[in-house]
């Protein structure tokens, strides 16, 4: 290539990416495409979300619409994810930021959450999310996925039990 030549363009617009992702999702496979149901379930615009990600920006999705979010402090959140995995539970999308860990759970599955150190995010509160490909230790604006979207959501009861177990283990080893 000479200095006057320009590299070939991929020719993929945001609409092309949305269409390809929808086709992949309908076929039942991830294949590197963004899963769209969890975005749709939130009530957010899929095209706006993908456009934000295409610009290497966080997208804003409202919590509590299609799924609930349990927010816990970062150390206990990581320990909770470890406890879920140790218990053999399905671990769905888990978001990590500088101060906390957010776990997406089925809507209504954590009604009445009463454990100190974690809260259920209010319906409509914006959740700033990176693209699913941004998985810890990689970050985008200090956010990443511990478990990216694409798996079923974490069971609320399993999360409750794992959160309690994480607190107990942290108390035993003095890390609280």
Domain boundaries, the chain: 60-172
Query: CA-to-CA distance for 143 and 139, rounded, in angstroms?
Result: 5
Query: CA-to-CA distance for 105 and 159, rounded, in angstroms?
Result: 9
Beta bridge partners of 59: 129
Beta strand spans in the chain (E)? 59-62, 67-73, 94-96, 100-106, 118-120, 126-129, 144-147
Show pLDDT as tens, one digit a residue, over the chain (176 residues).
Answer: 444 443 444 455 555 555 555 444 433 333 455 688 899 999 999 999 999 999 999 999 999 999 999 999 999 999 999 999 999 999 999 999 999 999 999 999 999 999 989 999 999 999 999 999 999 999 999 999 999 998 799 999 999 999 999 999 898 887 76
């Amino acid at each position: 290539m000479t200095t006057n030549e320009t590299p070939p363009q991929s020719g993929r617009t945001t609409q092309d990416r949305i269409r390809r992702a929808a086709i992949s999702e309908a076929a039942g496979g991830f294949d590197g495409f963004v899963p769209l149901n969890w975005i749709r379930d939130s009530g957010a615009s899929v095209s706006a979300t993908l456009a934000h990600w295409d610009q290497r920006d966080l997208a804003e999705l409202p919590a509590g619409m299609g799924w609930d979010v349990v927010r816990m402090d970062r150390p206990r959140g990581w320990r909770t994810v470890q406890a879920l995995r140790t218990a053999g539970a399905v671990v769905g999308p888990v978001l990590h930021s500088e101060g906390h860990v957010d776990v997406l759970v089925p809507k209504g599955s954590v009604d009445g959450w009463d454990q100190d150190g974690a809260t259920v995010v209010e319906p409509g509160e914006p959740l700033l999310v990176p693209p699913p490909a941004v998985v810890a230790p990689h970050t985008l604006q200090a956010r990443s996925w511990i478990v990216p979207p694409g798996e079923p959501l974490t069971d609320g009861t399993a999360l409750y039990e794992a959160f309690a177990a994480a607190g107990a283990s942290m108390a035993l080893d003095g890390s609280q």
